[in-house]
Amino acid sequence: MQYEVEVKYKLEDVEHFRKVLEEKQAEFVNTMEQEDIYLSHPCRDFGKTDEAFRIRRIGAENRLTYKGPLVDQETKTRQEIELIFGAEKESAIQMQTLLEKLGFQAVQPVHKVRHTYHFTFEEIIFEIVLDNVSNLGWYIELECCVDADEQEATSKKILKLAEHLGLGPDVERRSYIRLLLEQNQ
């Protein structure tokens, strides 16, 4: 079983943080646009169960992702199951239609431009992303995927990495979809 170990922070000065990553010799990987359609379950409230279900488009690639409830009080660590399915926008539309026929409902799109870096810290390769989220602004996420038996130790290491990079103690535990929904209320 795979877990995504993650911490996220609101980023006020993106250019300063790009310089920090350069000074620490983080490896720039790429920049991409991502479009997420979050779906609500017909029988349970994902907001209450702290789960998420989405269709993500990255260029021509489509992914269906389930994220389980958070497993600790400090990070955004949770089980993640992700499947890649048919390419191009038409496949994403067909998947959304299929899920809506089964009772799921589209909640809100989340659009972001993601700048991805890799950084090795305490023998783990972490992904560091700078996200420019439409209608929310800039955020930074530190993340990696590990097996269940490595989850607790990796959660501690990711918090040490955040400190190493000069990020404060205020982890943003809410998802982008939750932030957008709260903003719209």
Give the CATH number, domain containing residue 164: 2.40.320.10
Q: What pLDDT is stored for residue 34 in this prediction?
A: 96
Could you give the CA distance from residue 17 to residue 167 in angstroms, rounded to a whole number? 10
Could you give the CA distance from residue 184 to residue 73 in angstroms, rounded to a whole number? 26
Kindly report the number of other CB atoms within 10 A of residue 18's CB atom. Answer: 15
Domain interval for residue 176: 2-184
Q: Name the residue with tokens 């420019």.
A: 132
Q: Is 38 a catalytic residue?
A: yes
Catalytic hit among 9, 38, 117, 139:
38
Residue type, 24: K
- At residue 11, what are phi and psi to the nearest 5 degrees? -115, 115
pTM score, two decimals?
Answer: 0.92
Map residue 123 onto helix, strand or coil.
coil
Structural domains of the chain, count:
1
pLDDT tens-digit map of 115-173? 999 999 999 999 999 999 999 999 999 999 999 999 999 999 999 999 999 997 889 99
